[in-house]
Amino acid sequence: MPWARFTKTFDFDFRPERAVCIEIRPSHTPQEFPGRVIDAAVKAGAAERVESPKPEQKRAYKRAKRAG
């Protein structure tokens, strides 16, 4: 899955495939989401793509989410 750094709050609606919406809050830490979510956020100007982190960086980002 691609990674992006969100600069604004972004709402994504998965309909019609699923009746689910998500709100992504801005963060300096890169976040991982499905490609179509990242594409829509970049198109809306709410995010900028970043390179996928190395495995050890990925683990650190995910640990920080749980801790904070």
Sorting pLDDT into bands at 50, 70 and 90, what band is 36? very high
Q: What integer pLDDT is reported at residue 26 of this predicted model? A: 95
Assess whether pLDDT exceeds 80 at residue 68. no
CB 3 within 8 A of CB 46: no
Residue in this structure with the two tokens 């969100």, named with its chain if needed? 6
Cα 24 from chain centre: 7
Instruction: Please give the model's pTM, rounded to 2 decimal places.
Output: 0.77
Q: What's the average model confidence in pLDDT over 41-54? A: 93
Task: Write the DSSP string, 13-37.
Answer: E-TTT-S-EEEE---SS-EE--HHH
Residue boundaries of the structural domains of the chain: 3-67
